[in-house]
Amino acid sequence: MNPTLMIGLLAIFSLTVTSRAAETSTPTQRLAALGLTLPAVPPSIANYVPAVRSGKLIFLAGQIARGADGKPLTGKVGRELTEAQAAQAARTCVLQLLAVLQAELGDLARVQRIVRVGGFVNCTDDFTAQPKVVNGASDLLVAVFGPAGRHARAAVGVNALPAGAPVEIELIAEVAD
């Protein structure tokens, strides 16, 4: 067989196998491939539960980003924090939300779709890049769940958040029975 043809066939086979592997990988495997691990489920800081299921929907209470020490991150975006730092905080919020989902469902593979994300950004009056901050959350959800991670969303600037947090993220997911 022609060596060039053989290399071409091997390349096509390799791409097909790689593509199928990506399609069949689980959210947990995708997290690991990103070098991410889920934190412990953060404790509630008021009178609420972290998740409520109604039918096939699970509503997750908002999460504020916590550092490795478990303490809330603080700061106002546009003054103490940059857009990029706030986007990283939004990503951290999603990791915490995924930890709640994992605890509630037992397996992130039971998530059929991320339906909606609400993002709240504690920012100065002249800061207008809230959507870019909340992209830190949205981008991670798409990386973990693929097309099922694409969602409806709100990105809202607010004057203050609990504990002086820069970002709070909430979400609604559709889950398998």
What number of other Cβ atoms are within 10 A of residue 118's Cβ? 18
Calpha distance 39→177 (Å, rounded): 25
Q: How confident is the model at residue 23 (pLDDT cuts 50, 70, 90)?
A: low
The percent of residues above 70 in pLDDT, for the chain, comes to 86
The pTM of the full predicted model, rounded to 2 decimals, is 0.86
Residue 151 near residue 138 (C-beta atoms within 8 A): yes
Which residue has better confidence, 137 or 20? 137
Q: Identify the structural domains of the chain with CATH numbers, from first to last.
A: 26-175 (3.30.1330.40)
